[in-house]
A = this chain, B = another copy of it.
Amino acid sequence: MLENIDKIKIKNADLPQLSALCEEARQIIISTVYKNGGHLSSNLGSVELTVALHKVFNFPEDKVIFDVGHQCYTHKLLSGRLGDFSTLRQKNGLSGFPKREESEYDCYNTGHAGTSVSAALGIAKARDIAGKDFNVIAVIGDGSFNNGLVYEAFNSLRLLNSKILVILNDNGMSISPTVGSMHEYLEILSETAEQKEKRDKHAKIFERFGFKYEGVYDGNDIGQIVEKLSEVKEMLKTQSVILHILTKKGKGYEFCEDNPEATHGISISGSSNSSTEYSQILGQTLSSLAENDKRIVAVTAAMTTSLGLGDFFEKYPERSVDVGICEEHATVLCASMATEGLKPYYAVYSTFLQRSFDEIVLDICSQDLPVTLCIDRAGISGSDGETHQGVFDLSFLSFIPNLTIAVPKDIKEFEEMLKFSAKFEHPLAIRYPREGKRVFQRQSKIVCGKWEYLNGNDGKYAIIASGERAVTLALAAAQILEKDSIKVTVINARFVKPLDEKMLNELQSKRIITVEDNMLLGGLGSLINNYYAEQKVAVKNFAYGDKFIPQGGVDELMTDGGVSCQAIVEYIKNENR
**Alpha-carbon distance between A149 and B332 when the two chains are bound, in angstroms:** 9
Q: How far is the CB of A307 from chain B (nearest CB, A)?
A: 18
Known pairs A122-B334, A546-B401; A160 contacts B361 (CB<8 A): no
Q: Which of B157, B328, B521 contacts A181 (CB 8 A)?
A: B157
Are A537 and B536 within 8 A (Cβ)? yes
Q: Which of B122, B326, B526 contacts A521 (CB 8 A)?
A: B526
Interface residues in A272-307 (C-beta closer than 8 Å to B)? 297
> Which secondary structure dominates where chain A touches chain B?
helix
Cβ of A130 < 8 Å from any Cβ of B? yes
Q: Which of B154, B185, B358, B539 contacts A355 (CB 8 A)?
A: B358
**Alpha-carbon distance between A182 and B159 when the two chains are bound, in angstroms:** 11
**Alpha-carbon distance between A538 and B324 when the two chains are bound, in angstroms:** 49
Q: How far is the CB of A399 from chain B (nearest CB, A)?
A: 4
**Alpha-carbon distance between A180 and B355 when the two chains are bound, in angstroms:** 23
Cβ of A126 < 8 Å from any Cβ of B? yes
Cβ of A479 < 8 Å from any Cβ of B? no
Q: How far is the CB of A491 from chain B (nearest CB, A)?
A: 17
Q: How far is the CB of A163 from chain B (nearest CB, A)?
A: 15
Nearest B residue to A498, CB-CB: B546
Interface residues in A109-162 (C-beta closer than 8 Å to B)? 109, 111-112, 115, 118-123, 125-127, 129-130, 146-160
**Alpha-carbon distance between A527 and B147 when the two chains are bound, in angstroms:** 35
Are A321 and B398 within 8 A (Cβ)? no
Are B205 and A180 within 8 A (Cβ)? no
Q: Which of B127, B341, B533 contacts A539 (CB 8 A)?
A: B533
Interface residues in A385-414 (C-beta closer than 8 Å to B)? 386-387, 392, 395-396, 398-402
**Alpha-carbon distance between A9 and B125 when the two chains are bound, in angstroms:** 57
Nearest B residue to A357, CB-CB: B357
Nearest B residue to A543, CB-CB: B530
**Alpha-carbon distance between A395 and B534 when the two chains are bound, in angstroms:** 20
- A396 / chain B contacts, CB cutoff of 8 Å: 357, 396, 399
- A329 / chain B contacts, CB cutoff of 8 Å: 118, 149, 152-153, 155-156
Known pairs A108-B339, A386-B366; A332 contacts B155 (CB<8 A): no
Cβ of A363 < 8 Å from any Cβ of B? yes
Are B402 and A395 within 8 A (Cβ)? no
**Alpha-carbon distance between A362 and B111 when the two chains are bound, in angstroms:** 8
Cβ of A209 < 8 Å from any Cβ of B? yes
**Alpha-carbon distance between A397 and B181 when the two chains are bound, in angstroms:** 35
Are A521 and B398 within 8 A (Cβ)? yes
Nearest B residue to A539, CB-CB: B533
Are B126 and A522 within 8 A (Cβ)? no
- A32 / chain B contacts, CB cutoff of 8 Å: none
Q: How far is the CB of A569 from chain B (nearest CB, A)?
A: 17
Q: Which of B179, B530, B538 contacts A534 (CB 8 A)?
A: B538
- Given A123-B337, A536-B538, 4 new contacts (CB under 8 A): A354-B361, A396-B396, A401-B547, A402-B547
**Chain A positions near chain B (C-beta within 8 angstroms):** 100, 107-109, 111-112, 115, 118-123, 125-127, 129-130, 146-160, 179-182, 184-185, 204-205, 208-210, 297, 318-319, 321, 323-324, 326, 328-329, 332-337, 339-342, 354-355, 357-359, 361-363, 365-367, 386-387, 392, 395-396, 398-402, 519-522, 525-527, 529-530, 533-541, 546-548
Residue contacts A-B, CB under 8 angstroms, 14 given? A100-B339, A118-B332, A122-B337, A123-B336, A126-B336, A129-B319, A151-B152, A155-B182, A155-B326, A155-B329, A396-B399, A522-B522, A526-B530, A533-B539
